[in-house]
Structure 1
Amino acid sequence: MNNSIKSSLITPTYNWPEALELLLISLKKQTVFPDEVIIADDGSREETTKLIERFQKDFPVPLIQVRHEDNGNQKPKIMNKAIAKASGDYIIEIDGDIIMHPNFIKDHLKYAEKGLYLFGSRVNIQESILNSIFKNKTTYFHLFSKGIQRRTRTLRIPFFMNNPKIYDKRSSKLRGCNMSFWKEDFIKVNGFNESLVGWGIDDSELIQRLHNIGVKGKRLKNVGIAYHIYHKIQDRSNIEINNRIEKETTENKITFIEKGINQYL
């Protein structure tokens, strides 16, 4: 593992403290810690702030809340604000409904490489066990755990990373809930596109711009294991607008967007 990398873990959240609590518990159980954790809070109620304050008392690394007022889904904006404040050279991004395998951070740092970003998959936690995991604060899952889908992805097999696949083009397997990149590359393309409206496309549109400047992808296979907590499908009423923006980014090889992280640097 490259111990010289200074890293920041960034996660967005919005009014789901039960999921955020499990995320933070799984972070405390990491074999390797990031240098800091930043919660990008898209305007949650006081309950979330109180949860973060409780964890800050004995968290192993600085735990920082970056928050703005609730004005609908503004994930690109709050993520830009959080990453602008990040002191790490390397950004590990997960969603606020992710539970991490104990070696999650270790794996992202081990396979980090200049000129590349990393992306991993996820194991799906089904709705049927939500009450149980929230009640019991469950963060450990395995191949035979009840209530999970894509269970072979629970197997951590670093051997598969001896010859990792490098992607010249954005992969359809990309999931923003489990990826990492260099902050300097993120700044080169001006971060997340705040012209995107509501749910969806923000991560893949960002990654497309990284490809447009020559950054390539490396897929994490059976390492960097993440568990995604079930939730209802979010409002996708603006997805056509966002798809059009992403298509323009791809076809016109756009590298730098107007409304991005430069507003907060």
Structure 2
Amino acid sequence: MPEHVVIADDGSDYRTADVVGKFKHFLPIEHVWHEDNGFQKSLILNKALKTCKTDYIIEIDGDIILHKHFVKDHLAAAQKGYFVQGSRAMIGESLSKKAIHKKQLSFSCLMKGMTTRFNAIRFPLLSGIFKTDPYSSHNVKGCNLAFWLEDYVRINGYFNGFTGWGWEDYEFAERLINSGVKKKRLKWAAVGFHIFHPLSSRANFKPNELIYRETVSNKMWHRSPGFQEVAI
């Protein structure tokens, strides 16, 4: 069981608070909410991390169902000087609808309707055979990401200057790397199953990409406004 759970709530309604309230009876859980003002993932994550009581953070999205050994795998991979990208297995639309209706929590790479079967495999003993470029921010996804809180604070967390969906995870990872933290990628371990949903608006995709490209070109490791500039 995790030591502390923080819900970063980007403007949902009362139903989320009701669900969180039920879990507070047996989980050390914190609910950090702000008003809905469009897609503000970076801002709400920075607010949520202000309340965190642990040294190591495992970040997931609200549309991820965790393998029962998800936290165990991430903790086994935790290493100073690294952040860790876990595996994301995509659940197809039909299977997602059935799973939500049945409140299904267990999935397999052999299930009909699993669209990325390879990523749905859990075989941690062979996870080490998969290598990745430790200095590349490419393909980093915040839906299954782990890092040390001290590294997060040092680079000033996520950049609040992003508007709408896109590039915030890449840019965050790039600054971690530029600050001296390497990337470790897990395959066949720390598996998260992604529930199908319509794509978010890509209206600000290009402007957000320019922010990322600036971070890459200038080898930036710190940006403002970010973690230090938010209040809860």
Same fold (TM over 0.5): yes
Cα displacement (A) at 1:232: 0.5
Change (3 A) 1:221 1:103: same
Asked whether the 8 Å contact 1:39–1:82 carries over to 2, the reply is yes
Shift of 1:145: 1.2
* Correspondence for 2:11 among 43, 60, 78: 43
In the TM superposition, what is the alpha-carbon distance from 1:143 to its structure 2 partner? 2.4
Cα distance, 1:263 vs. partner?
2.0
Task: Provide the rounded CA distance (Å) in 2 between the counterparts of 1:74 and 1:258.
Answer: 15
Q: Among residues 214, 217, 220, which one is paired with 1:254 in the alignment?
A: 220
Q: Measure how far apart 1:169 and its partner are.
A: 1.9
The secondary structure found in structure 1 opposite 2:83 is: strand
Give the CA deviation at 1:167. Answer: 3.0
TM-score of the pair, normalised by structure 1? 0.83
Aligned with residue 54 of structure 1, among 5, 8, 22:
22
What residue identity is the alignment partner of 2:186?
A: L
Q: CA deviation at 1:155?
A: 1.9
**In the alignment, what sits opposite 1:222?**
188
State whether residues 123 and 150 of structure 1, in contact with CA within 8 Å, keep that contact through their aligned partners in structure 2: yes
Once the two structures are TM-superposed, the CA of residue 131 in structure 1 deviates from its matched residue by 2.8
- Say whether residues 1:150 and 2:112 are aligned partners: no
- In structure 2, give the amino acid aligned to 1:156: R
Deviations 1:74-131 (A, max 9, x none): 1101000001110110010111100000000001001100000000221111111233
Query: Would the alpha carbon gap of residues 163 and 150 (structure 1) be closer, same or farther in structure 2, given more than 3 Å must change?
Result: closer
Looking at structure 2, the residues matched to 130 and 219 of structure 1 have their Cα atoms a distance apart, in angstroms, of 26
Q: Report what 1:17 is aligned to.
A: none
Q: How far off is 1:142 after superposition? A: 1.1
The unaligned stretches of length 5 or more in structure 2 are none
The within-5 A match list for 1:115-134 is: 115-134=81-100
1:109 alignment partner, one of 72, 75, 82: 75
Give the number of aligned pairs: 231
Q: Distance in 1 between matches of 2:46 and 2:212?
A: 18
Matches within 5 A, 1:1-265: 33-57=1-25, 59=26, 61-162=27-128, 165=131, 167-264=133-230
Q: Which has the higher contact order (CA 8 A, sep 6+)?
A: 2
TM-score in terms of structure 2 length: 0.95
Letter in 1 for 2:127: M
Partner residue, 1:19: none
CA distance in structure 2 between the aligned counterparts of 1:211 and 1:264, rounded to whole angstroms: 23
- Whether the 8 Å contact between 1:120 and 1:174 is mirrored in structure 2 is no
Give aligned-pair identity as a percent.
Answer: 41
Separation in structure 2 between the aligned mates of residue 187 and residue 92 of structure 1, nearest angstrom: 15
* Letter of the structure 2 residue corresponding to residue 41 of structure 1: D
Compared with structure 1, are the counterparts of its residues 171 and 212 closer, same or farther at alpha carbon in structure 2 (3 Å cutoff)? closer
Answer whether contact 1:121 1:175 (CA < 8 A) is retained.
Answer: no
Superposition RMSD in Å: 1.5
Partners of 1:162 and 1:54 lie apart in 2 by 38
Paired residue type of 2:113: G
Kindly state the Cα deviation for residue 166 of structure 1 after the two structures are TM-superposed. 5.5
Q: 1:248 & 1:77 partners in 2: Cα distance?
A: 20
* Residue segments in structure 1 that go unaligned for 5+ positions in a row: 1-32
> How far, CA to CA, are the matches of 1:119 and 1:187 in structure 2?
19
